Structures are given as C-alpha cells and as structure tokens.
C-alpha cells in the first residue's frame, strides 16, 4: 500500500460522508499530497452494518482502487466464487445457474462491503475521518467558501466542499432543488449469518454469488457467501410498510407478514424468510430524476448517490460513486489544487471538468437502472430478465 504523501494543500477541503465515494476521494487526494477532512454522521466505523457484497466493475470500481494504489489488497479480499448468478421463479425452477467466469459475472470480483470500506479507511492518514459529525446545515458564504453546521453543535468553514453524503444529502440543496422520489419498490432486508454452516440448504439455493428469485412483481434478491444478504422486495405503494400495520421490529411478526406475501412461493425459497436472523429492516428504494444536474457553483460539488441516487437494479451505484470520486480527485490534482496558487479558480476548473463527464455518465446509468427495475418486477417475471441475459426472447 502506498502511504499518503505529506499533505501540503493550502485550502481546506471537506468531504461530507465516509461512504465508498467519500473515502475513495479522500484516499486519492492524500496519495497526491492533498489534505482533506471527511465528516461522517456515524459515531464510528462499525456503528452500522454495511450490507452484503458488491461486484466491482473493471472500468469504475476496480479503476478507482487501482488509482488509489489499493488494487492488490482488494484482490486478496475478493471471493471469486461470488461471481455466480442464479435466476429462479417462485416455484424454485432454476433458469440460469451460472458458474464463476461464465457470462456477465466474469471480471467483476465480489467483495464484502465492510471489507472494502475497512480497506479504504485504513489507507487514510490518521484522523482524516471525523466521526459523529452529522451535517445539519450547509451555507454558502460570499467568498465561495461554505459553512457547515453539525448536529453535535460545532461548525466549520471550508474552501472546497464535496457532498458525498448519499441519498438524503444535506449538501445537495446548495446546488439543486431535486428530491429523490420513491421508485415503487419496498424491501425487507434479511440476513442469514454463517449460512454454509447454519443454513446449508439456504446457501445452496442462493449460491455463493447473486440470486434473482422473481415472480409476480415480487423478488427475493441478493448475495450469498458466508452471510446471505437478501431483499424480500415488493412493488407496492410508498406507505405500504407503515400502512401494513406490521411491527417490523418484531422479527416473528415481520417473518409472518412476509411469509403471507410470499405465500405461494416454494418452501425452499420461503425458508430464506423463515430462517433469517433476528432484525428484519424495512427499506424503500428512492431515485433522483434521471439526468439530474445543476449549474456550476463556486466551491461545491456532489458525487455518488448525493449526485445521482438511482435504483440498484443495474448494480452501478457504488461503482459510479467510486468512479466519480476518482475523476474528481484526479481533476483537482491535474489543476494543481495543492500548489498553493490561485486555488479558487483552479478548483472551479477542476469541478467543471469533473461535472461535464459525470452528468452524462450518471444519466446513462440511471436509465439502465430504471430499465433494470422493470426487468425484475413484472407480472411475468423472470421472463424479461431471462430475455435480457440470454439476448433473445423466451416467449413470443
Ligand atoms: C439494496 C441495494 C443494493 C445495492 N446493490 C449494489 C450493487 O450490487 N452494486 C453497486 O454498485 N451498487 C449497489 N447499490 C448502490 C450503492 O449501495 C450506493 O450507490 C453506494 O453506496 C453510494 O455510495 P456513496 O458513497 O455515494 O453514498 P453512501 O454509501 O450512502 O455513503 C454516504 C455516507 O454519508 C454519511 N452521511 C449521510 N448524511 C450525512 C450527513 N448529513 N452528515 C455527515 N455524513 C452523512 C452516511 O452515514 C454514509 O456513511 C445498492 C443499493 C441498494 C439500496
């Protein structure tokens, strides 16, 4: 691992959010000797579970890690078996059972989200991430700088502000009035830990990689491995989670409610619900409008979900966040942000260069994600997804 060079920047750079995007940006800036501070709402690195696996794409997630000088460590953390894919319907009929290296999974190694985040965190200069600093308000000052107010009662002023704070970004309103909209899909997050040992049948149904079990606008979708992470997803109105009257914090009640929703699914699939761990978490899928963009504004930009949150059905969000972060950091380096001269103008040119490439890229991915949602959630699923993967219609 390259150690970050001694930071020498003359300007104060704040990255809000220590997700994958914010951390990649910080790491690449530091490798080039540019100091920055990452303000994170969470109290500590382990205060929240980070979810299941991610497959990182060559041109985005993997490119980011190469640029960050972390690719070799990343390779040691991947699990090649995770490139498998299984597509089933509610009866348990297996339509696709793809081994590692076959088809679309090839060259997209899977890594556990926590392992990836820890790799990035450990690569940063000590003290880079300031935990327990939830931004509650961000205000533009007259000279292009910004003031950040934190929930813990403190405040700071920064020269360059990078919003990497996800779907409900507090930085976004400085640039755009857009608000993420509900995509029509709600899901219940399920986990089966130590699956190969404790739930071998479930591990076999899911496989080590990605599972799509789809029928009737419903899905059991997620990743296998040591711990299975699944979403039991439904196309339902936005208030369904609350209007259902279910106490989702009561695992038994949540399991029973889900088993009712998936009542005509095969037992091997509903066993994934029956045997999940305590703690079922309800979540809703939101997306910004496709093509979301903003006019350039001095001293501030967005990356990742803060800029273009989209539904997860093209598997692009984390990859894009990492690519955004890479391109933004490299643009700041290229424009000499650490030379101590004419910093504000140089930063503006770098932001404009980054945004000009990011907007069309995000638009294309958001279109693919919206199309992916309709491939997965239809009356006759998984037909459309099978057509997509095989490249030919399975029915007239
Ligand atoms: C079910 C599901 C499955 C997915 N599967 C995939 C996949 O297979 N492949 C893929 O590429 N993508 C996937 N995604 C998308 C991916 O998770 C996101 O796009 C990615 O995490 C975005 O990274 P980010 O760094 O922009 O934001 P985030 O990961 O959301 O990080 C934002 C950070 O900012 C912090 N924060 C938030 N608000 C504040 C505040 N006010 N002040 C300070 N800190 C704050 C948060 O605590 C968090 O640490 C999936 C998403 C979902 C919901």
386 belongs to a structural domain:
no
- 2-25 burial string, b = 16+ CB within 10 Å, else e? eebeebebebbbbbbbbbbbbbbb
- Is 117 among the annotated ligand-binding positions? no
318 CA to centre of ligand 1 in angstroms: 7
CA pair distance 225, 298, nearest whole angstrom: 45
Pocket test of ligand 1: the residue of 19, 149, 170 to mutate, having most ligand atoms within 8 Å of its CB, is: 19
Q: Give the span between the Cα atoms of 350 and 327, in whole angstroms.
A: 10
Q: How far apart are CA 19 and CA 341, in angstroms?
A: 30
Q: Is residue 277 part of a domain?
A: yes
48 is in an annotated binding site: yes
Measured from the CB, is residue 40 less than 6 Å from ligand 1?
yes
Helix and strand numbers (H, E) in the chain are 13, 17
Q: 269, 205 in Cβ contact below 8 A? A: yes
* Whether residue 273 sits in one domain with residue 307: no
> Do 72 and 156 share a domain, yes or no?
yes
Q: Considering the domain boundaries, does residue 86 fall inside one?
A: no
166 and 124 co-located in one domain:
yes
> What is the CATH classification number for the domain harbouring 255?
3.30.9.30
139, 256: one domain? no
Query: Is 165's C-beta closer than 6 angstroms to any atom of ligand 1?
Result: yes
Q: Are residues 157 and 41 in the same domain?
A: yes
Same domain, 337 and 191: no
CA of 178 to the centre of ligand 1 (A): 18
Domain contains 98: no
Q: In terms of domains, do 276 and 292 share one?
A: no
The CATH number that applies at residue 313 is: 3.50.50.60
pLDDT under 70: residue ranges of the chain: 1-10, 101-106, 338-343, 392-396
69 pairs with which residues across the strands?
A: none
Q: Is 24 in the pocket of ligand 1 (CB under 6 A)?
A: no
Tens digits of residue pLDDT in 244-287: 999 999 999 999 999 999 999 999 999 999 999 999 999 999 99
Q: Where are the beta strands (DSSP E) in 36-180?
A: 37-39, 53-55, 85-88, 94-98, 110-112, 129-130, 135-140, 146-150, 155-158, 160-163
Question: What's the predicted TM-score (pTM) here?
Answer: 0.94
Query: Does residue 88 form part of some domain?
Result: no
**From the CB of 374, is ligand 1 less than 6 Å away?**
no
State how far the Cα of 22 lies from the Cα of 306, in Å rounded to an integer.
11
> Is residue 101 in some structural domain?
no
Strands 300-302, 160-163: pairing kind: parallel
Let me know if residue 100 belongs to a domain: no
Identify whether residues 273 and 297 lie together within a single domain: no
- Answer yes or no: do 256 and 362 share one domain: no
CB within 8 A of 308, min separation 6: which ones? 288, 292, 320, 358, 362, 365, 366
The torsion angles phi and psi of 361, rounded to 5 degrees, stand at -65, -45
Q: Look at residues 160, 164, 127 and name the one whose alpha carbon lies nearest to residue 16.
A: 164
CA separation, residue 123 to residues 63, 129, 138, 172 (Å): 16, 11, 28, 27
CA of 136, closest atom in ligand 1: 41
Q: Which of 238, 260, 287 is the last residue of a domain?
A: 287
Confidence at residue 4, expressed as pLDDT on a 0 to 100 scale: 52
Tell me if 135 CB under 6 Å of ligand 1. yes
One domain for residues 135 and 186: no
Residue span of the structural domain in which 72 resides: 13-78+108-179+288-371
Cα 47 to averaged position of ligand 1 atoms, centre (Å)? 15
Residues 48 and 157 in one domain: yes
* Domain count within the chain: 2
Sheet order of strands, 146-150 included? 135-140, 146-150, 155-158
Q: Copy the structure tokens of residue 392.
A: 């030919």
Looking at the domain assignment, is residue 1 inside a domain? no
Pocket of ligand 1 contains residue 89 by CB under 6 Å: no
Q: Are residues 367 and 310 in the same domain?
A: yes
């Amino acid at each position: 691992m390259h150690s970050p060079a001694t930071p020498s920047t003359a300007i104060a750079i704040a990255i809000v959010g220590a997700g994958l995007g914010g951390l990649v940006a910080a790491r690449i800036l530091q490798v080039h000797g540019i100091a920055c501070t990452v303000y994170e709402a969470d109290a500590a690195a382990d205060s929240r579970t980070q979810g299941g696996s991610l497959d990182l794409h060559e041109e985005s997630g993997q490119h980011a890690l190469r640029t960050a000088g972390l690719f070799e460590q990343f390779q040691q953390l991947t699990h090649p078996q995770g490139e498998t894919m299984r597509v089933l319907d509610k009866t348990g009929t297996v339509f696709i059972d793809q081994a590692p290296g076959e088809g679309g999974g090839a060259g997209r190694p899977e890594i556990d989200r926590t392992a990836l985040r820890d790799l990035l965190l450990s690569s940063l200069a000590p003290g880079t991430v300031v935990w327990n600093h939830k931004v509650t308000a961000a205000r533009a000052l007259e000279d292009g700088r910004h003031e950040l107010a934190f929930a813990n009662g403190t405040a700071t002023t920064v020269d360059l502000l990078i919003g990497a704070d996800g779907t409900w970004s507090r930085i976004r309103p400085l640039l755009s009035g857009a608000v993420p909209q509900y995509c029509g899909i709600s899901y219940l997050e399920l986990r089966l830990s130590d699956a190969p040992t404790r739930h071998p049948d479930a591990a076999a149904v899911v496989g080590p990689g990605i599972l799509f079990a789809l029928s009737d606008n419903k899905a059991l979708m997620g990743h296998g491995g040591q711990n299975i992470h699944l979403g039991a997803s439904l196309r339902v109105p936005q208030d369904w989670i609350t209007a259902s009257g279910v106490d989702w914090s009561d695992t038994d009640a949540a399991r029973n409610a889900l088993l009712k929703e998936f009542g005509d699914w095969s037992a091997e699939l509903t066993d994934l619900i029956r045997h999940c761990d305590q703690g079922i978490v309800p979540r809703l899928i939101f997306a910004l409008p496709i093509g979301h963009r903003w006019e350039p504004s001095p001293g501030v930009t967005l990356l990742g979900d803060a800029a273009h949150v989209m539904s997860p059905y093209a598997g692009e969000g984390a990859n894009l966040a990492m690519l955004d972060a890479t391109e933004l950091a490299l643009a700041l380096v290229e424009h000499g942000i650490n030379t101590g001269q004419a910093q504000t103008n140089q930063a503006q040119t770098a932001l404009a260069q980054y945004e000009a490439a990011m907007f069309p890229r995000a638009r294309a991915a958001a279109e693919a994600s919206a199309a992916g949602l309709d491939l997965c959630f239809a009356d006759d699923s998984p037909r459309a997804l099978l057509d997509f993967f095989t490249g030919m219609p399975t029915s007239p």
